Structure 1
Amino acid sequence: MRRSFTPADVFLVLALFIKEIPWGVRGSSHCQQTSSGVVRPHSVTITEFGAVGDGLTLNTKAFQNAIFYLNSFADKGGAQLFVPAGRWLTGSFDLISHLTLRLDKDAVILGSTNSADWPVVDPLPSYGRGRELPGGRHRSLIYGCNLTDVIITGDNGTIDGHGNVWWNWFRNGTLNFTRPHLVEFINSTGLVILNLTFLNSPFWTIHPVYCSQVIVQNVTIIAPLDSPNTDGIDPDSSNDVCIEDCYISTGDDLIAIKSGWDEYGISYARPSTNIIIHRLVGETRSSSGIALGSEMSGGISEVHAEKLQFFNSNMGITIKTSRGRGNYVRNIYISDVTLANVNIAIRFTGQFEEHPDEFYDPDALPVIEKITIKDVRGEKVKVGGLLQGIEGDKFHNICLSNITLAVASDFPWNCSYVQGYSDSVSPETCEALKESIFPEHQTDCYCLSNHLRSLVDHTRGARLW
C-alpha cells in the first residue's frame, strides 16, 4: 500500500514545525522520560519458536508460544521478547505482565489479512456494543488485559495493521463485527509504548481503556488521510496518561480522549482524567488534531495539552458531545498551538448524535465547563471558531486568551448556547465570549493565574503572524 509519508517526509515536517521546542520533559510526575533500555533478566527471540520473517508465513502460534513460555518468568524479574529484522505476519496475540516486546529497527510486525486471525471478543461494558456494529468486536493485533508493567518498544521498528483490507470491508458493508484496533490494553497499569512506527491500523491505533499510568512517547502513527476512523491515540476511561513527542497523520482524530458511550458509559462511571499531552505534530484531512469525546459519558477532566502543531487538517481542537451523553468535560487546558491550513481552528458541538441504541436518556445532559484555550497562532484558517452548545444546556466558562488567526471567512466566529470570556483574540470573538477574563473572571477560567495578566496586557491587540 502506498504510504502517505516517507520517513524523510516526516523528519522534514518535524524540522519545520519544531524549530525551538525544548525536548526536556516537564509536567506531572507520571510524565517522565522513559528509557527503552530497561533490562529484563530473561530474553528470547521470536525465531526460537519457529517464526519466519518472510511476510508470508503466519506466525501467530510462534508469538503465542513465546508469550506462554515467557509467562513463567513474570515473577522472576520479567522477560523480553525480541523481534529481529524481517516481516513477521501474525494474527492477534496476547501480552503478559512484566514483559518487554522489543522490535529491531528493521522489524515489521504485520497484521494478517484473514479476519479469522483476529478473534471476536465481547464489547466493552462502557460501550454496550461494538462501536460500529451491535455485538462483539474483533480483538486488536497486540492485546493485553489485566496486566501491569508492559513495554512495547524498538529502534523505530514498525507495527503495520494491514488496514486496507479492513477499510474495504467497512466501505463495502461486509463486516459482521466492529473492526479491531492495532494495540489495545484493558484494565492495565504501568504501560509504556515508545520509539516505534505504527502503520495502517484497521480502526483506532493505540487504545488504552480502563488503564492507568500510561506513557506513549516518540511514536509515529501513519494511515492514509482517507482511511476511515483510524484515530491515532485514544485514552479511554483512563487516568495518569502521558503522550509526548509524537507525529500522527491519519484519517481521523490524531488524539481522541473518551470515556464511554451514553447510558453504558454513565453506568460504568470510569472517567478519563489527569492526561498530559506535549509536543504533538500532525495532520488529519477529515477530523481533529485533538478531540474530547464524542464518547465522554464517564466524564473527562484535568487534561493539559501544550505545544501542538496541526497542518492541512479539517479541525484543530474539538469537543464533541450530545444529549444522552451525560456527565462532564471540565478543567481542560490547551496552550501553545500552531495551525496552518486548517478549516476550523476550534470546534465545540453538542449535536454529535450517534447513540448505541434507543435506550439512551435524552435528558442526560453533559456539563461542559472550564475550558481554557490560549496562545494559539494560525495561518490559512477558514473559520476561527464554531462553538455550538445545547439549548437549555450552555457550555460555560469557555476562556480564550492570546489567540491570533489569519482567517479567510467574513464570519470568523459562530457561537450558540455558550458562555465565557476572552482576552487578546483576533479576529474578535463572538458576543457570548467578549467579556474580559481579567481581572474579574480569571478564577472562572481553568488554570489561568494572576501572572498571566501581564502577558495578556502585553500582547493585547498584537498580531503574531
Structure 2
Amino acid sequence: MKRLVKAIVILILAVADAIEASGSSDGYCNYKHISTSRPHSVTITEFGAVGDGLTLNTVAFQNAVFYLRSFADKGGAQLYVPQGRWLTGSFNLTSHLTLFLEQDAIIIGSQDSSQWPIVESLPSYGQGLDLPGARHRSLINGYNLTDVVITGDNGTIDGQGLIWWEWFSSQSLNYSRPHLLELVNCNDIVVSNLTFLNSPAWSIHPVYCRNVEIQNITIHASSDSPYTNGIVPDSCSNLCIEDCSIDVGHDAIALKSGWDNYGISYGMPSTYIHISKVHLQTPLGSALAFGSEMSGGISFIYVEHLHIDNSLTGINFKTTRGRGGFIEDIVVSNVEMENVHEAFRFTGHCGGHPNDEYDPDALPKIKQVTLKNIVGTNISTAGFFSGIENDPFTAICLSNIALSITSDPSNSWSCSNVSGYSESVFPDPCSDLNSNSSFSCFSLDFTAAAEA
C-alpha cells in the first residue's frame, strides 16, 4: 500500500510539473485585433438617469443608445455609467458603441417582469429554454451589431435573479427566463473587466456571433439557483474566453449550437473557440460542458489552464438521440481539479426535446477528443463514459492524467459504447479506453483560423 501511495504521489507531481511547464499554446486568444477607443463619450446622467437604486432608468438607457447611433459613422461613441446603482429594464445596444461601467457602478435589473419584453425564440431552438413559445428579452441585448465593447473598471451588472428563480421553481413563469447579456448575430465584440451577478438564467450568451473576446470577467449566482449558466457560446466562431472566474448553479461554461431539428436546420456550429486561464466552480453542475443542445455541431475547441474546484462534474460531454450534429476535434489540456465528485462524463443519454417532432434516428457523433495533462485531488469518481448503442463515441484520448480518488480506484471508471486510447493515466481506465492500436491523440492548430 505504501508503494502504491508513493507511486500515486509521484505521478501527480509529474503531471503537475507538466502543467506548470506548459505555456499558453497557439489559440484564438492570442490573436486580438478589436479596438476599444472611441472619439465621443456621453454620461448616462445626461439623459436623466438617477443612480439611487430606486429610480427606473430604462428610458434613459434607451434614449442614450438611440442618441449614440448618430456617431456610428464617426468612429463610434462611449456610454459612461458612473458610480451608483442604476435600476433598469431591458435595453438594446447599437453598433460602434462602448458601454463603460466605472468602479462601483452597478446596473440593476428590474424585478418587474414587464420591464423585460417578450421576444420570439431563437430559430435554432424553436422555443424558450424553460417553456414552449416566446421568451423574455435579456437585460442588455445586441442584434445584428458590429464593433461593440462592454467593459469597465470592474463595474457590476446584477440581474436580481432571485425572484425569477422563485417563479421558475414554483412553475409561475408565463415565458422563459431572460439572460443578463445576449448578443445575437454580432461581429467584433469585447466583454471585459466586469462582474455579472444573479442572472435570471444565463449570464453571457453570444449566439450566431463571430470574433468575440470575453476577458477578465467574474460571474456569480447562488449555488442553488436553477439552471443558471455562466458563459454560453452558442453557434459562434472565433471566440476567446480568458482570465475569468465563474461560480454558478448549473454549468459554468457551456458550449452549444441549437436544439434537435431546429439546430440541425439552422446548421451553424460552434467552432474555433479558445478557453484559457479560467477558474470554475459549480456544486450542482458541470464546470465545462459541451451540449447537450449541440445539433448544429461543436468542433475545433481548445481549452487550457483550467482550474476546477468544488464541482459536481469537471468536464462533461452530453447529448442524446435526436440531437444529430457532432462534437469533434476537441483538446482540453493543463487542468487542475480539486474537490470534484466526477472528473469526466461522456453521456449519450442527457437532455430533453423541444417537442415530439424530433427524429430519434438523428444520432450525434462524438469523436476525436483529447484530454491531457490533468491532475485532480479529492476526486470521488474518475469517469463515466456512456455512448449510444450503435453510435459509439470514438477516438477518445486520455493522456498524462493523475487523479487522487477517494473511492475504490478499481471501480472509478464506467464505460460502454466508447472506444479510445490512454497513456500515463491513474487510476487505470477501463479497457475500452486502453486500446493498444497505433492511435494518435488529436491536436489543434489555430493559426490558420486566426489569420483567416
Same fold (TM over 0.5): yes
CA contact (8 A) 2:333 2:371 kept: yes
CA contact (8 A) 1:376 1:404 kept: yes
Aligned ranges 1:15-30 → 2 under 5 Å: 27-29=26-28
Aligned with 1:301 (options 275, 299, 302): 299
- CA–CA distance in 2 between the matches of 1:23 and 1:73? 45
SS of 1:170's equivalent? Answer: helix
Aligned with 1:326 (options 310, 316, 324): 324
CA contact (8 A) 2:22 2:334 kept: no
Task: Return structure 1 stretches of 4+ with deviation > 2 angstroms.
Answer: 20-35
CA contact (8 A) 1:26 1:32 kept: no
Amino acid at match of 2:434: K
What is the Cα deviation at residue 22 of structure 1? 9.9
What is the Cα deviation at residue 409 of structure 1? 2.3
CA contact (8 A) 1:31 1:276 kept: no
Amino acid at match of 2:443: C
- CA–CA distance in 2 between the matches of 1:371 and 1:383? 20
* 2:413 alignment counterpart: 413
Aligned ranges 1:186-205 → 2 under 5 Å: 186-205=184-203
What's the % identity of the aligned pairs?
A: 57
* 1:447 alignment counterpart: 443
CA contact (8 A) 1:330 1:371 kept: yes
What is the Cα deviation at residue 282 of structure 1? 2.0
What is the Cα deviation at residue 315 of structure 1? 0.5
> How big is each residue's C-alpha offset from its partner over 1:185-206, in whole Å with a ceiling of 9 and x where there is no partner?
0000000000000000000110
Aligned with 2:91 (options 70, 93, 96): 93
What is the Cα deviation at residue 434 of structure 1? 1.0
TM-score (norm 2): 0.92
Is the counterpart of residue 138 in structure 1 residue 114 in structure 2? no
CA contact (8 A) 2:159 2:200 kept: yes
Amino acid at match of 1:126: S
- CA–CA distance in 2 between the matches of 1:34 and 1:348? 36
> How big is each residue's C-alpha offset from its partner over 1:23-60, in whole Å with a ceiling of 9 and x where there is no partner?
9976335544689x932111100000000000000000
- CA–CA distance in 2 between the matches of 1:335 and 1:98? 36
* 1:435 alignment counterpart: 435
- CA–CA distance in 2 between the matches of 1:116 and 1:254? 28
CA contact (8 A) 1:25 1:32 kept: no
* 2:288 alignment counterpart: 290
- CA–CA distance in 2 between the matches of 1:313 and 1:34? 35
SS of 1:116's equivalent? Answer: helix
SS of 1:63's equivalent? Answer: helix
- CA–CA distance in 2 between the matches of 1:248 and 1:75? 36
5+ residue gaps, structure 2: 1-15, 446-452
What is the Cα deviation at residue 92 of structure 1? 0.3
SS of 1:330's equivalent? Answer: strand
Is the counterpart of residue 206 in structure 1 residue 204 in structure 2? yes
Aligned ranges 1:112-261 → 2 under 5 Å: 112-261=110-259
Identify if the C-alpha distance between structure 1 residues 23 and 414 changes in structure 2 by more than 3 Å, giving closer, same or farther.
closer
What is the Cα deviation at residue 281 of structure 1? 0.5
Is the counterpart of residue 59 in structure 1 residue 57 in structure 2? yes
* 1:4 alignment counterpart: none
SS of 2:281's equivalent? Answer: strand
* 1:343 alignment counterpart: 341
SS of 2:320's equivalent? Answer: coil
- CA–CA distance in 2 between the matches of 1:323 and 1:23? 38
* 2:449 alignment counterpart: none
SS of 1:57's equivalent? Answer: strand
Amino acid at match of 1:27: D
- CA–CA distance in 1 between the matches of 2:377 and 2:37? 46
- CA–CA distance in 2 between the matches of 1:111 and 1:274? 33
* 1:456 alignment counterpart: none
> How big is each residue's C-alpha offset from its partner over 1:340-359, in whole Å with a ceiling of 9 and x where there is no partner?
01000000110014100000
What is the Cα deviation at residue 230 of structure 1? 1.1
Aligned with 2:39 (options 38, 41, 49): 41
Is the counterpart of residue 426 in structure 1 residue 426 in structure 2? yes
Amino acid at match of 1:99: L
Amino acid at match of 2:108: L
CA contact (8 A) 1:423 1:436 kept: no
CA contact (8 A) 1:31 1:241 kept: no
RMSD of aligned residue pairs (Cα, Å): 1.8
SS of 1:392's equivalent? Answer: coil
- CA–CA distance in 1 between the matches of 2:68 and 2:22? 35
- CA–CA distance in 2 between the matches of 1:448 and 1:236? 21
- CA–CA distance in 1 between the matches of 2:310 and 2:28? 33
TM-score (norm 1): 0.89
* 1:102 alignment counterpart: 100
> How big is each residue's C-alpha offset from its partner over 1:391-426, in whole Å with a ceiling of 9 and x where there is no partner?
110000000000100112221100010000000110
Is the counterpart of residue 271 in structure 1 residue 269 in structure 2? yes
* 1:9 alignment counterpart: none
Identify if the C-alpha distance between structure 1 residues 26 and 371 changes in structure 2 by more than 3 Å, giving closer, same or farther.
closer
What is the Cα deviation at residue 446 of structure 1? 1.2
* 2:5 alignment counterpart: none
- CA–CA distance in 2 between the matches of 1:302 and 1:287? 24
- CA–CA distance in 2 between the matches of 1:25 and 1:380? 26
What is the Cα deviation at residue 436 of structure 1? 4.2
- CA–CA distance in 2 between the matches of 1:119 and 1:192? 25
Identify if the C-alpha distance between structure 1 residues 43 and 264 changes in structure 2 by more than 3 Å, giving closer, same or farther.
same
Q: Which one scores higher on RCO, CA 8 angstroms, separation ≥ 6?
A: 2
SS of 1:267's equivalent? Answer: helix
* 2:393 alignment counterpart: 395
Amino acid at match of 1:446: F
